[in-house]
Chains A and B, each alone.
Chain A
């Protein structure tokens, strides 16, 4: 708990938390505006109203989330490298893997808050704009969890990458490359491509159904834990020389 408080204090004036919250607000605003403008076109699609609500707006929301994660992950370790603060941390009686875990947790909770904001907007739209009796709260909650879980591999991967490079342009470049390659390959049916964390995040956005793809969820959980474990191991064993 103390490590978490210290970590939150370190992030003062960095914009790590505001950037993800801003993404959440922006995503929610996009959902409102987009549905308002395209309501008739969207509801005219040959899809169930809940599928329209959850899958047709998620593409842009997901891209916002993705860039929010990339930027926040870059910033969360840049603050350690700028001014060589991380060197001081190694000289203090504290757990460096603990610091890594706290950064991971802060980003996870903030991302969850952003996704919650976006889905609150979807809930409001669903209750007020979908045909009477077609809004399903359970489906929305299920999709919220699905979009959160499939976003986590990118977060876990980006925290790992940004923790290993002092130059912030490297993780930022990796993030952009991940986005472009993920977008190019996301619609492929080959399950093996889901080892690419960005493709997993794209899965709910390219699907036509709001029903979670359990294979993607499984890949997401394995990758999240794998990158987190790798990051913790590196934080413990590959130290500053």
Chain B
């Protein structure tokens, strides 16, 4: 199988706390991989490790055959990312913010308009970023990730702060990206209902451990095998997480 992102026993420890525990994920080229887990499951930390923002305590990973830290600049040139909250220069307009990123990436000028149009921010491009609403900041962050249409997108809860129509719009945009320009998307969320509508494959993370990896059909199949109803995947996700939490409590008691 052609995996564009593959991690091997990736682990991140902060003193006594293990944020990511031996996680091995496999993201197929040209697919949308939904990274699911409750808050604090380790989704953002895993994504930060993939971007070189934080160093793994153990394990390794490859992105398009390249490794950190040796290929840091080459890897970052291929990835459009959006982690946690949108990051922007408050003193610059939306367009000027994208221009800074464009210059760093050495892209053509028209990529700014392309990115603004993709996220529906064209008419607000000349407004100062500090005057944007939360949803507009979110869109600006997404535009920054999409600038130059990078082959890999790492998006950490990109619909946070958006209204229902904004969520719908961004979801449709993310869903259309692999067909639009042949990219691979790794997207995180704590809502299976959201991921279900766009992802080809999913990975379920809880307390830093990968509980499930596979397609949505695989998840339905394993739900049926475990005697759960496969009609409502949200319930399946919650019961997987609850089972893991109960097992953790049991282990802690012993």
Q: Are B104 and A10 in contact (CB under 8 A)?
A: no
In the complex, B181 has a CB within 8 A of chain A: no
Residues in A neighbouring B162, C-beta threshold 8 A: none
Q: Are A2 and B105 in contact (CB under 8 A)?
A: no
A92→B87 contact, CB < 8 A: no
CB distance from A230 to the nearest CB of B (A): 21
Q: Is A79 an interface residue (CB 8 A)?
A: yes
- Interface range on chain A (Cβ under 8 Å from partner): 20 to 34
- B residues within 8 A CB of A38? none
Does B144 lie at the interface of the complex (its beta carbon under 8 Å from any beta carbon of A)?
Answer: yes
- Contact A91–B76 (Cβ < 8 Å): yes
A2 touches B91 (CB 8 A): no
* Known contacts A12-B91, A82-B90, A93-B77: A6-B100 contact under CB 8 Å: yes
- A241 lies within 8 A of chain B by Cβ: yes
Which residue from chain B places its CB closest to the CB of A2 in the assembled complex? B103
Across the interface, do B87 and A84 meet the contact criterion of CB distance under 8 Å? yes
Q: Of A5, A6, A85, which is within 8 A of B88 by CB?
A: A85
Chain A residue at minimal CB-CB distance from B91: A13
Contact A90-B53, Cβ < 8 Å, known A6-B104, A83-B87, A83-B89: yes
On whether the beta carbons of A6 and B103 are closer than 8 Å, the reply is yes
Contact call B96/A9, Cβ cutoff below 8 A:
yes
Contact A91 B89 (CB under 8 A): no
Cα distance A239–B87 when bound, in Å?
Answer: 16
Residues of B within 8 A of A2 (CB): 103
- Whole-angstrom distance between the Cβ of A153 and the nearest chain B Cβ: 28
Most B CB contacts (10 A, CB to CB) among A79, A82, A84 go to A84
Q: Cβ of A79: which chain B residues have Cβ within 8 Å of it?
A: 89-91
B129 touches A241 (CB 8 A): no
B51 near A91 with CB under 8 A, answer: yes
State the CA gap A155–B150 with chains docked (Å).
39
Chain B 71-85, CB-CB to A under 8 Å as 1, else 0, gives 011101101010111
Contact yes or no, B54 A241, CB < 8 A: yes
Q: Is there an interface contact between A83 and B96, defined as CB atoms closer than 8 Å?
A: no
Do B101 and A88 have beta carbons less than 8 Å apart?
yes
Residues of B within 8 A of A239 (CB): 53-54
Query: Given contacts A6-B100, A87-B83, are A241 and B53 in contact (CB under 8 A)?
Result: yes
CB contact between A14 and one of B52, B91, B100 (< 8 Å): that residue = B91
Q: Are B130 and A93 closer than 8 Å at their CB atoms?
A: no
Contact of B100 among A9, A13, A87, A91 (CB under 8 A): A9
B84 to chain A, nearest CB (A): 8
In the complex, the answer to whether B54 meets A83 with C-beta atoms within 8 Å is no
Interface residue? B183 (CB, 8 A): no
Is B200 part of the contact surface with A, judged by Cβ < 8 Å? no
Residues of chain A contacted by B130 (CB below 8 angstroms): 82-83
| Chain A to chain B contacts (Cβ below 8 Å), 8 pairs | A6-B103, A82-B89, A82-B90, A85-B87, A87-B53, A92-B76, A93-B72, A241-B48
Please name 11 further chain A to chain B contacts, defined as beta carbons within 8 Å, in addition to the given A9-B96, A79-B89, sorted by A numbering.
Answer: A5-B103, A6-B103, A9-B103, A79-B90, A82-B90, A85-B87, A85-B90, A88-B101, A239-B54, A241-B48, A241-B53
